[in-house]
Amino acid sequence: MRDVAVVSFAQAPNKRRELVRNEVEILMPVVREAIERSGIENKEIGFICSGSSDYLAGQPFSFVTSLDAAGAWPPVCESHVEMDGAWALYEAWVKLQIGELDSALIYCFGKSSMGDISEVLSLQLDPYYMGPLWPDQMSLAALQARLLLEKGQVSERDLAEVVARSRRNAKDNPNAQLSGDFEVEELLAEPMIASPLRKHDCAPISDGAAAVVLAADDLARSVCQRPAWIAGIDHRIEAHDLGVRDLTRSPSTALAAEKAGLARAPVEVAELYAPFSHQELILREAMGLGEGVKVNPSGGALSANPVMVAGLIRIGEAAERIKNGSASRAVAHATSGACLQQNMVCVLEGR
């Protein structure tokens, strides 16, 4: 396997609602920043891969105009996944492994505020059996949370602690949407929105964009003082039907973590894409993350959740901590589908 590293990362400030700018306008400065910070010229970048969703954008072929943000002239080698940018990064990583190209730009964007995000995400469900009932993500997550609580290993207090920790960490994140100091007691005093979940247990609605530049081998070493090397990356999907899975566990995360070599050495930092507080606990367990690991120093999805972007942001945030020297080994996680159906694990190292 070739050595590939994250050499730069940029994100738009996550907002509840970006009223003025369209997706391309939000994306442009983010892509520029990622390219400038990478130290690699725009025209030198070998491959471009983006992630976005038509249904999120409310129009078909929504990724087409986004290419304008990258300046695709002369013609570029470019691809797109209708998935979170984390999977676009995976496709780019694979491409670089082939050996013909040495760098890649990955970008993703999404304005969840434009439509009713619950309704939109309901369209991810089996169109014959589940879709017509229009169950929303929150209710489905609540079913999962209920199962977890019933198991007895996790309490409502534990969920509130995840929220308090996330919001507190987010205070240091200039791009976070929600941050602040909250007492567990005051959180528990809030009403439930979809029992057993309270509003703060659920990720906010966010508009955002992010971009990452990957570089291989010597190129990474020449442009970046401390590249965040991808030591391992893998993703797995589980069955779709909620009744078929044990929703209190995440075997696909565990398997992806194993394949990515997470357990080879301890990690100091973990950025986990948990749009619901109880999911952070499920993921920690699946990945075997001990007490000493700092989870979601960025505040995680509970502080900002631009759909189609939040996964790539986890990788970017983890990479930043490697690059700035505050961690030597980190793990990032991304998820897709209701109740953690599909999961990616990316292990990053400084050397």
Contacts to another protein from residues 130-169, by CB under 8 A = 131-132
Calpha distance 286→289 (Å, rounded): 8
Residue nearer to another protein on the CB measure, 144 or 303? 144
For Cα atoms 87, 200, 192, give the angle at the middle one, nearest 5 degrees.
125
Q: Across the strands, what pairs with 6?
A: 214, 228
Q: Which of 33, 36, 37, 55 binds another protein (CB under 8 A)?
A: 55
Q: Does 115 bind another protein (CB under 8 A)?
A: yes
Q: Which of 298, 285, 290, 280 is nearest to 340 (CA)?
A: 280
By CB under 8 A, is residue 318 in contact with another protein? no
Interacting residue with another protein among 36, 37, 76, 139 (CB under 8 A)? 76
Cis peptide before 196 (omega within 30 of 0): yes
Closest distance of CB 212 from another protein, Å: 16
Q: Does residue 125 bind another protein (CB under 8 A)?
A: yes
Q: At what angle do helices 156-170 and 277-287 cross, to 10 degrees?
A: 90
Nearer to another protein (CB atom), residue 138 or residue 164: 138
Q: From the CB of 316, what's the least distance to another protein, in Å? A: 19
Site for another protein in 8-47 (CB under 8 A): 18-22, 24-25, 28, 31-32, 42
Phi, psi (rounded to 5 degrees) for 59: -160, 150
- Rounded least distance, CB 122 to another protein, Å: 8
- Give the gyration radius of the chain's Cα atoms: 19
Place of tokens 């995680």: 300
Closest separation between CB of residue 56 and another protein, Å?
Answer: 8
**Number of residues near another protein (by CB under 8 A):** 82
CA 154 to chain centre: 24
Q: Per rule CB under 8 A, is residue 291 in the interface with another protein?
A: no
> Residue 322 CB, nearest distance to another protein (Å)?
23
What distance lies between CA 339 and its chain's CA centroid? 15
Please report whether residue 311 would count as binding another protein according to CB under 8 A: no
* Separation between Cα atoms, residue 71 and residue 88, nearest integer Å: 18
Please give the DSSP secondary-structure letter assigned to residue 271: E
The residue among 237 and 263 lying less far from another protein, judged by its C-beta, is 237
Among positions 178-217, residues that touch another protein (CB under 8 A) are none
Q: What is the nearest approach in angstroms of another protein to the Cβ of residue 98?
A: 5
- Interaction residues for another protein, span 224-283 (CB under 8 A): 234-241, 244, 251-252, 255
Restricted to residues 79-108, the positions that interact with another protein (CB under 8 A) are 79-83, 87, 90-91, 94-95, 97-100
Asked if 204 and 301 count as a contact pair (C-beta separation under 8 A), the reply is no
> Cβ 305 to another protein, closest distance in Å?
16
Contact between 195 and 142 under an 8 Å Cβ cutoff? The reply is yes
